[in-house]
Structure 1
Amino acid sequence: MGDIGVRTRRRPTSDQGQGRSRRRAGWLDSPRMTNLAKTRGQRRLPRDFYLVLSSQGVSLIGSEMQQIALPLWVYQATGGSTLSAGVAFAFQFVPIVLLAPWAGYIADRFDRRKLMIICELSATVMVAITLLGLHYGIVPLVIVTASVTRVFNAVTMPAMQAIIVNTVPEEDRARSASRSTALFAIVQIAAPLAGTAIGGTLGFQVVLIIDILSFLLSALLLLPLAPCPGVPALRNAVRSTWHAFRDNSSTLFRWTLGTEAVFFLLWGADAALALLILGDRFGTATAGIFSAAMGVGWVLASALIPARFKQQPIRMIAAGAACGPIAAVAFVALVPYGLAAAFLPGVLVGVGNLAVVIGATTIFQKEAGAEVAGRLFAVRRAVLNSMLTVSYLLLPGVAAAGFGKGPTLILFSILMFVAVQVMAWLTVRRTADVTTKEEPEVLVRG
């Protein structure tokens, strides 16, 4: 037998050891490891945040499916009337506009947990009535009951925002906003595809049954939620909401709201027009691909845009508006080549829309106090949904008047881009003027 050789390991010199130590230390101090350490060191968000987020995620799945499917049913039931479909879209936002003062007031005065449970169960009843109207082909009843269902959503959303503001510590609200955005983006991808596919194959009645089940499950998820009491001393809904907006909204808050309102007025019905164009060309069952593509854009925007435009929410809004004309021209040019060609423009629309919303929400969350958050967010929803209502009547109306769906989409995308850039510039100027006026004088003595 041969000798068994023993292999010895050469000990590193002192210079080599120091080099390895420096490389190891550099790796540990790298941005990747630093961020990982910070992430692992973060505390978990409160349980109640995940409960209310799960509840609203489930509820939103059914609502989004109904919101996109019912106007398509109206479009078919009225023989392809673009204006009728626009009315069906618009009427879903009217209650949020009319009830804004009371919605925010109720969300700030009463226990938010009980309020949300009552709203989810009440919405279940209204969707059941809508189902009857759809079964018997009564178009006005379907439009009205779908609109009334949104009454309860008008109260639920400010209540949810108030719960998040009251349960999530201020330093963790950026993470909670990121979680919320990610969940709603996933819903935005899945729900439109499911709504149009199920409505076009199994029937629109099945969509409404799923909506009923989603409201019931949402109410069940809210049961373990801890009570979140409001301020019982609040009186007079309209006056209370007006005072909250007048006394607690800054100049930046108001000008940002105006900029966001212009965006939704001129571009709020973009998805509706795209949906009708795809429905005419490829059929109802596949028309939801554009809205699903917008959801993909939401995911991309939530991951990329905040890091790119950190601490620059106004620029985020301006950049988001710039996506509109590019997406509109690309959509109209590519649709003749097939359904898949509409996907990328849809993604770009989603990126732009969410960039505007994230930029505005960043400002609103910073400017709104916890005690008035419900009322201020309700005012914001009222303004934006009033703009959406007009947009759903304006864009389809122009298209139905003979201008055409594609040219209307391009025209309003350009108008939106110009108007938002002007408003963003004015917001920066006015805010800078106010900041300069509020700065104390500095006296320099010679």
Structure 2
Amino acid sequence: MATDTGTAAAETGGALRGRDFRLLWTAESISKTGSAVTTFALPLVALQTLGASTFMMGVLNAMVWLPWLVVGLQAGAWADRRCRRPLMIVCQLASAVLIVSVPLLAWLDALSMQYVLVIAFAVGCANVLFTAAYNAYVPFLVGRGELLGANTRLMGSEQAANIAGPGIGGLITQLSSAVVGLFIDAFSFLASAVCLWSIRAREPALPPARPDRPPSTFRADIRSAAAFVARDPYLRILTASTACTNLLMGGIQALVVVFLIQEAGLNAWAVGATTITISVGGLLGAAVAAKVSARLGSARTLLTAPITDCFQLLFPLAARGPLLVLALAGTLVWATGVVVRNVTSGAFRQAYCPPGMRGRVAMTMRFVSFGVWPLGSLLGGVLGTVIDVRTALFLLMIANVVTDVLLFIGPLKRHRELPAEPVL
């Protein structure tokens, strides 16, 4: 049986300073930097190279998130049945091959909108499976007491990568084209796979099936995780709240590029500046998440959503000059609050869930919360077509603030701290 070196490191309290966690951290940072370039470049390829309409931009954004609805639950069950590190490596290699095909076809003048949609969906499927394995793998490398610190570092580097990515994408777009930026993402997936392959810690072999008990089926595994989330008062309300938010954010994200370039009359640099501002806010949020959680309490930290989400309403005011600065300032505050809450809730879920269900529980929650994102993207595309894009953004962002009331329905409002173990 393989040795559980990651757990041993965690028990000594040195996992966050160890070689294996640094490799995981590096793999995530490299991959996220490349992905940030793609987030910037792929919509521009569709808009500038292929002349995509507002509705097709919504469809493209929907295809990125549709895999959460199609394979999310299965990915969680698979991640709980397999060693996670090899699974993550395969996902990174597959993503590299898929992404690099887009610039190759563009240079051959054979790229179509239909192919871009297929690639967006396929890469999304690889990302879903990677995320399922990743969420279950982090608690293996670090101890329960270090999960908040681990998530703070991982979330912080992700936001830092998002700062660099759009800047790189914007520079490449100005010097060459958005298509070229996709090569950087393909290379980043390869580099990430190398880092993951270099991790020495090996997960313990899965226990053999007991002869007196039939092996559990995928369907039974999925059903047990779904029942756990549905019964638990904390996970249930967090899932419902995040689902409502993501439904609206899907519509908002689908309209941002169209709004800035076509409605506000700005250029590609404004798109990059917006993404960088969101990432800076995310970096600040990751940096202060532990302090905010300690000061307010982990439960009360999640209840700050209505306050910071109000600042998002400044974004549709964006125009040339000072209004763009005001819009970006509001976006900065909003993004900071989002990441503070994401770090807090992510560490809570990883420590709270039974070890054998971490992958399935994480993906059950994401199946619901991310599965609605394609619907939101289509909603945004329809609203942006029926009414003007600026008004559509205002309506979606106001609705986002209103849905934050869901957090006050459950037990969060009665406690300062989130529980360490399931209450069932």
Do the aligned partners of 2:163 and 2:275 also contact (CA within 8 Å) in 1? yes
1:360-379 mapped onto 2 (5 Å cutoff): 360-379=345-364
Matched with 1:258 is 240
Matched with 2:291 is 307
Do the aligned partners of 2:41 and 2:182 also contact (CA within 8 Å) in 1? no
Q: Compared with structure 1, are the counterparts of its residues 43 and 125 closer, same or farther at alpha carbon in structure 2 (3 Å cutoff)?
A: closer
1:341 deviation in Å? 4.4
Letter in 1 for 2:98: M
Matched with 1:25 is none
Give TM-score scaled by structure 1 length.
Answer: 0.80
Q: Flag as ranges the 4+ runs of structure 1 deviating above 4 A.
A: 232-235, 338-341, 429-432
Matched with 1:88 is 60
Q: Take 2:183 and 2:143, find their aligned partners in 1: how far apart are those partners?
A: 38
Matched with 1:131 is 103
Q: Take 1:268 and 1:160, find their aligned partners in 2: how far apart are those partners?
A: 23
Matched with 2:223 is 242
Do the aligned partners of 2:44 and 2:178 also contact (CA within 8 Å) in 1? no
Answer yes or no: is 1:174 the counterpart of 2:148: yes
Q: Take 2:171 and 2:216, find their aligned partners in 1: how far apart are those partners?
A: 47
Answer yes or no: is 1:194 the counterpart of 2:168: yes
How many corresponding residue pairs? 392
Letter in 2 for 1:297: G
Q: Take 1:390 and 1:99, find their aligned partners in 2: how far apart are those partners?
A: 16
Answer yes or no: is 1:411 the counterpart of 2:383: no
Per-residue CA deviation, residues 236-261 of structure 1 (Å, 9 max, x unaligned), is: 32321221232476221111111111
Do the aligned partners of 2:151 and 2:346 also contact (CA within 8 Å) in 1? no
Q: Take 1:407 and 1:55, find their aligned partners in 2: how far apart are those partners?
A: 40
Q: Compared with structure 1, are the counterparts of its residues 112 and 343 closer, same or farther at alpha carbon in structure 2 (3 Å cutoff)?
A: same
Q: Take 1:107 and 1:42, find their aligned partners in 2: how far apart are those partners?
A: 26
Letter in 2 for 1:63: S
1:203-352 mapped onto 2 (5 Å cutoff): 203-225=177-199, 226-229=201-204, 231=206, 233=209, 235-247=216-228, 250-280=232-262, 281-310=265-294, 312-328=297-313, 330-337=314-321, 339-352=324-337
Answer yes or no: is 1:388 the counterpart of 2:373: yes
1:340 deviation in Å? 4.2
Letter in 2 for 1:287: V
Do the aligned partners of 1:327 and 1:345 also contact (CA within 8 Å) in 2? yes
Q: Take 1:137 and 1:181, find their aligned partners in 2: how far apart are those partners?
A: 34
Do the aligned partners of 1:65 and 1:195 also contact (CA within 8 Å) in 2? yes
Q: Take 2:336 and 2:250, find their aligned partners in 1: how far apart are those partners?
A: 14
**Secondary structure of 1:282's match?**
coil
Answer yes or no: is 1:120 the counterpart of 2:113: no
1:156 deviation in Å? 1.0
Which structure: larger Rg?
A: 1
Do the aligned partners of 2:81 and 2:206 also contact (CA within 8 Å) in 1? yes
Q: Take 1:371 and 1:51, find their aligned partners in 2: how far apart are those partners?
A: 24
Q: Take 2:123 and 2:184, find their aligned partners in 1: how far apart are those partners?
A: 15
Structure with the bigger RCO (C-alpha within 8 Å, sep 6+) is 2
Q: Take 2:59 and 2:369, find their aligned partners in 1: how far apart are those partners?
A: 17
**Secondary structure of 2:202's match?**
coil
1:271 deviation in Å? 4.1
Q: Which 5+ residue runs of structure 2 have no aligned equivalent? A: 1-11, 210-214
Per-residue CA deviation, residues 129-173 of structure 1 (Å, 9 max, x unaligned), is: 233343323111011112101211111112112121112111111
Point out the more displaced range, 227-236 or 345-354.
227-236
1:52 deviation in Å? 1.6
Q: Take 1:101 and 1:334, find their aligned partners in 2: how far apart are those partners?
A: 39
**Secondary structure of 1:227's match?**
coil
Do the aligned partners of 1:69 and 1:207 also contact (CA within 8 Å) in 2? yes
Do the aligned partners of 1:321 and 1:356 also contact (CA within 8 Å) in 2? no
Q: Take 1:270 and 1:92, find their aligned partners in 2: how far apart are those partners?
A: 14
**Secondary structure of 1:103's match?**
helix
Q: Compared with structure 1, are the counterparts of its residues 170 and 224 closer, same or farther at alpha carbon in structure 2 (3 Å cutoff)?
A: same
1:229 deviation in Å? 4.6
Letter in 1 for 2:374: T
1:327 deviation in Å? 2.5
Q: Compared with structure 1, are the counterparts of its residues 299 and 109 closer, same or farther at alpha carbon in structure 2 (3 Å cutoff)?
A: same
Matched with 2:5 is none
Q: Compared with structure 1, are the counterparts of its residues 131 and 80 closer, same or farther at alpha carbon in structure 2 (3 Å cutoff)?
A: closer
1:78 deviation in Å? 5.0
Per-residue CA deviation, residues 168-210 of structure 1 (Å, 9 max, x unaligned), is: 1111112111111211110122212322442343212211111
Per-residue CA deviation, residues 12-61 of structure 1 (Å, 9 max, x unaligned), is: xxxxxxxxxxxxxxxxxxxxxxxxxxxxx974524322212211221122
1:54-65 mapped onto 2 (5 Å cutoff): 54-65=26-37
Q: Compared with structure 1, are the counterparts of its residues 335 and 321 closer, same or farther at alpha carbon in structure 2 (3 Å cutoff)?
A: farther
Q: Percent identical across equivalent pairs?
A: 23
Give TM-score scaled by structure 2 length.
Answer: 0.84
Do the aligned partners of 1:127 and 1:145 also contact (CA within 8 Å) in 2? yes
Matched with 1:47 is 19
Do the aligned partners of 1:260 and 1:384 also contact (CA within 8 Å) in 2? yes
Do the aligned partners of 1:260 and 1:360 also contact (CA within 8 Å) in 2? no
Do the aligned partners of 1:48 and 1:167 also contact (CA within 8 Å) in 2? yes
1:323 deviation in Å? 2.5
Point out the more displaced range, 291-300 or 194-203.
194-203
